[in-house]
């Protein structure tokens, strides 16, 4: 059984811009509550929430209570603890664009007893730079940390511009760019699997690995945010950050130690080694899709109110990494909305044995497949070929060695949300699981020409049925290499 020792962090002031928004209500407030009941948050810490609505402290605390009722499990909802937690929350009405609304925040933070101060930007990306400028103007940036939600830029030029604006006020050591996939338990377990075991690392290269698939499938569509999504698309929303980060962690060389810059240096090398996909190469190695309607659901074109939209809700890519370790092992990435299931996984398919000493009919040998499952049921699964038990001939079968983390962790164990770790890492000052500016830029540098090639081609994404596995073009993309995707089922 797993045991976890909770080490309390120092008392802190966490200022959340956009506290009345969807992310704060669904994630940030509940995850802070979970850290609180686990005894990690000292009681004199303060969560200071800002938003545009005219609300009193009392009214906002009531809203937070409602948010907790909807998101926290019955088992973990303890009224006394909830009251204590809620009393740590302070609400300030603040319109970022008005110079007048900042006095209350300034006076609350001036001479604050808590030494750790962090500002969390849970607002639309267009407000990141104006907020940071205000923090600089009010001298609140010095000695504080800045947490920036995704997306960090829309392309390379806008990411550089945003970096310039933020970098005028904050040093890189104080900037925490969130990619919540990095906070997932399995993703960190990938580091343990690769670098705390002797078993896999000698095999972790193109001599032994045939190919790698990385999938992030969503069953939901754009759900009322079609017009917003239409300016983004799956490539920017999922591939530039989450999928490329997973690819980096899977492909990187061992860092010399598990620390922020050592890790990020290695991830950056992977991003820089990605074979560029431009023009014809981009069109040949990528597939875009757009979901159609279902009997009870509108299709994407109706949801985004733009019948001519060429925005992709699905993308599949074949990616090569130009390095000694990976030359000859393609990575296939895919992500999409309104697919058959909600799942995310990394699948490592090893090469077949060079020769079978068994016959062909009853004794096939399957390639070993290691599945690193991020969602649902976080865990690892390794399939190996074993003998069918019992007398009566020698037959083989494919046997899974399954390790679902929750199954191995006792009845009381709860899978922590990625944001729990990430927010506590901000307070601890640990940047290991956050993206550095050069990583973000290298990712955009690789992504931009692909989007440009799509735009230049003037073609529309391929339609696919709602709740299917995606467009047929994606099946063909991988079939060209005599391979197939793992089924999108859970
Ligand atoms: P939202 O639209 O639900 O909330 C936005 C918040 O910003 C609200 O509290 C609103 O009052 C506040 N706000 C708007 N204009 C303001 C102004 N002029 N001055 C002060 N406050 C203002 O947005 P969200 O879904 O909570 O997303 C917040 C950020 O998190 C975005 O950058 C988004 O890309 C990112 N994000 C969200 C999710 C999610 O699941 N919602 C997931 C990943 C990343």
Q: Are residues 137 and 186 in the same domain?
A: no
Strands 46-51 and 314-319: unpaired
pLDDT tens per residue, range 411-425: 677 888 999 999 999
Record the tokens describing residue 106, joined without a space: 């300034």
Catalytic option among 154, 180, 211, 242: 242
The domain of 119 spans 12-149
Q: Are residues 110 and 194 in the same domain?
A: no
Residue 175 falls inside a structural domain: no
Exposure b/e, 166-195, CB count within 10 A at least 16 = b: beebbeeebbbbbbbbbbbbbbbbbbebbe
- In angstroms, the CA 230 to CA 286 distance is 19
Mean pLDDT by runs of 10 across the 490 residues of the chain is: 70 96 96 95 93 95 96 94 95 89 88 86 96 94 95 97 97 97 91 93 97 97 93 97 98 96 97 98 98 95 96 98 98 98 96 85 85 91 91 86 76 84 96 97 98 96 97 98 89
**Which residue's CA is the nearest one to ligand 1's atom 44?**
150
Q: Are residues 315 and 402 in the same domain?
A: yes
Q: Are residues 372 and 451 in the same domain?
A: yes
Exposure b/e, 326-350, CB count within 10 A at least 16 = b: beebbbbbbbbbbbbeebbbbbbbb
Record the tokens describing residue 69, joined without a space: 């009722």
pLDDT tens per residue, range 468-480: 999 999 999 999 9
256: domain CATH number is 3.30.360.10
Q: Are residues 442 and 322 in the same domain?
A: yes
- For the Cβ of 21 lying below 6 angstroms from any atom of ligand 1, the answer is yes
Q: Are residues 239 and 283 in the same domain?
A: yes
In order, the DSSP letters of 425-444 are HHHHT--TTSB-HHHHHHHH
What pLDDT score does 409 carry?
67
Q: Are residues 193 and 302 in the same domain?
A: yes
- For the Cβ of 153 lying below 6 angstroms from any atom of ligand 1, the answer is no
Helix (H) or strand (E) holding 348: strand 343-350
- In angstroms, the CA 149 to CA 179 distance is 8
Peptide bond into 376 cis (omega under 30): yes
Burial class (CB in 10 A: 0-12, 13-18, 19+), 1: exposed
To test the pocket of ligand 1, the residue of 18, 26, 98, 184 to mutate (highest count of ligand atoms within 8 Å of its CB) is 18
Let me know: does 281 contact 319? Beta carbons within 8 Å: no
Number of domains observed in the structure of the chain: 2
Please say if 208 is a catalytic residue. Answer: no
Expressed in angstroms and rounded, the spacing between residue 175 Cα and the centre of ligand 1 is 19
- In angstroms, the CA 94 to CA 76 distance is 32
Q: Are residues 257 and 367 in the same domain?
A: yes
Q: Are residues 376 and 474 in the same domain?
A: yes
Let me know: does 467 contact 296? Beta carbons within 8 Å: no
27 Cα nearest atom in ligand 1: 40
**Which residue's CA is the nearest one to ligand 1's atom 37?**
23
């Amino acid at each position: 059984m797993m045991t976890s020792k909770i080490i309390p962090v120092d008392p802190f002031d966490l200022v959340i811009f956009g506290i009345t928004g969807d992310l704060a209500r669904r994630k940030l407030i509940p995850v802070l509550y979970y850290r609180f009941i686990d005894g990690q948050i000292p009681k004199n810490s303060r969560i200071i929430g800002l938003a545009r609505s005219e609300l009193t402290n009392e009214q906002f605390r009531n809203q937070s209570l409602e948010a907790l009722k909807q998101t926290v499990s019955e088992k973990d909802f303890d009224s006394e603890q909830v009251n204590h937690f809620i009393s740590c929350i302070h609400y300030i009405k603040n319109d970022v664009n008005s110079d007048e609304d900042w006095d209350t925040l300034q006076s609350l933070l001036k001479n604050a007893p808590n030494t750790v101060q962090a500002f969390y930007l849970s607002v639309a990306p267009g407000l990141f730079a104006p907020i940071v400028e205000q923090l600089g103007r009010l001298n609140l940036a010095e000695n504080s940390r800045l947490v920036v939600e995704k997306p960090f830029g829309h392309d390379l030029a806008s990411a550089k511009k945003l970096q310039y604006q933020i970098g005028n006020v904050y040093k890189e050591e104080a900037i925490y760019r969130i990619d919540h996939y990095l906070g997932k338990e399995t993703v960190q377990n990938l580091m343990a699997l690769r670098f705390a075991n002797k078993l896999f690392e000698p095999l972790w290269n193109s001599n032994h690995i045939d190919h790698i698939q990385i999938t992030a499938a969503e069953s939901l569509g754009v759900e009322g945010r079609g017009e917003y999504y239409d300016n983004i698309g799956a490539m920017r929303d999922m591939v530039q950050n989450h999928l490329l980060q997973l690819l980096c962690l899977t492909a990187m060389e061992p860092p010399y130690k598990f620390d922020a810059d050592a890790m990020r240096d290695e991830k950056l090398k992977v991003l820089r080694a990605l074979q560029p996909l431009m023009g014809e190469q981009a069109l040949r190695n990528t597939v875009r899709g757009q979901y159609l309607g279902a009997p009870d659901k509108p299709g994407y074109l109706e949801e985004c109110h733009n019948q001519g939209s060429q925005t992709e809700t699905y993308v599949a890519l074949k990616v090569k990494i130009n390095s000694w370790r990976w030359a000859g092992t393609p990575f296939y990435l895919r992500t999409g909305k309104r697919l058959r299931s909600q799942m995310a996984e990394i699948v490592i398919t090893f090469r077949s044995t060079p020769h079978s000493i068994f016959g062909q009919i009853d004794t096939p040998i399957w390639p070993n497949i290691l599945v690193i499952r991020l969602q649902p049921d976080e865990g690892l699964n390794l399939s190996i070929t074993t003998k069918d038990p019992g007398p009566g001939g020698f037959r083989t079968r494919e046997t899974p060695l399954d390790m679902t983390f929750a199954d191995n962790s006792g009845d009381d164990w709860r899978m922590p949300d990625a944001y729990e770790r990430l927010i506590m890492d901000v307070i601890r000052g640990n940047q290991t699981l956050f993206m550095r500016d050069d990583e973000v830029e290298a990712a955009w540098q690789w992504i931009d020409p692909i989007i440009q090639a799509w735009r230049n081609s003037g073609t529309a994404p391929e339609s696919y049925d709602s709740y299917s596995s995606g467009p047929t073009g994606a099946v063909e993309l991988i079939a060209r290499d005599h391979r197939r995707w793992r089924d999108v089922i859970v």
